[in-house]
A = this chain, B = another copy of it.
């Protein structure tokens, strides 16, 4: 658990490849071959990525997909959210999906905090950061100041 699901994993891999050839275009067929991801799965993925405006599609011969923005401007959070929805560690940290224990649970108001924390990590790590050969450092300003997305929280 606390994994990201193969779809998202594959999706990010695809985005990575699209980034490497930018601004060229790649067809689903090529992508499947390039990434060794089964073609039908690529289909499903590209639809999601296109809906989230991370890639732009072109139909017909010479068509294919192109990265919508620069690899630096696409975060892992963007990709993951596009494919499997906004990350939410617990039910009470999610928009949809209610927890029946929420009423009695003393932690119900506390989880969104940590959730936001890991969200930030994902948001501040770009495709570029992931793909580059160098050491992957996250911008310093991360988490310096106390971070409390929830007001006093005592409902």
A interface residues (Cβ-Cβ under 8 A, vs B): 1-6, 8-9, 12-13, 16-17, 35-37, 76, 80, 84-85, 87-91, 94, 101, 104-107, 110-111, 113-114, 117-118, 121-122, 125, 130-131, 133-138, 140, 142-148, 152-154
Q: Which of A1, A4, A9, A114 has the most CB of B within 10 A?
A: A1
Interface of A is mostly: loop
| Residue in chain B with minimal CB distance to A12 | B107
Could you tell me if A153 and B133 are in contact, using CB atoms closer than 8 angstroms? Answer: yes
Total copies of this chain within the assembly: 2
Q: Is A136 in contact with B148, judged by CB distance below 8 angstroms?
A: yes
Shortest distance from the beta carbon of A7 to any chain B beta carbon, whole Å: 8
Contact A101 B135 (CB under 8 A): no
**Which residues of chain B have C-beta atoms less than 8 A from A131's C-beta?**
106-107, 110
* Residues of chain B within 8 A of A138, CB atoms compared: 117, 143, 147
The complex places the Cα of A118 from the Cα of B105 at a distance, in Å, of 25
With a cutoff of 8 Å between Cβ atoms, the chain B residues found around residue A106 in the complex are 13, 16-17, 131
CB pair A1 B87 closer than 8 Å: yes
Q: How far is the CA of A114 from the CA of B12 in the complex (A)?
A: 13
A143 surroundings in chain B (CB, below 8 A): 137-138, 140, 142-143
Identify 10 new A-B residue pairs, CB closer than 8 A, beyond the known A1-B5, A13-B105, A17-B106: A1-B84, A3-B94, A107-B131, A118-B122, A121-B121, A133-B154, A135-B147, A136-B148, A140-B144, A142-B142
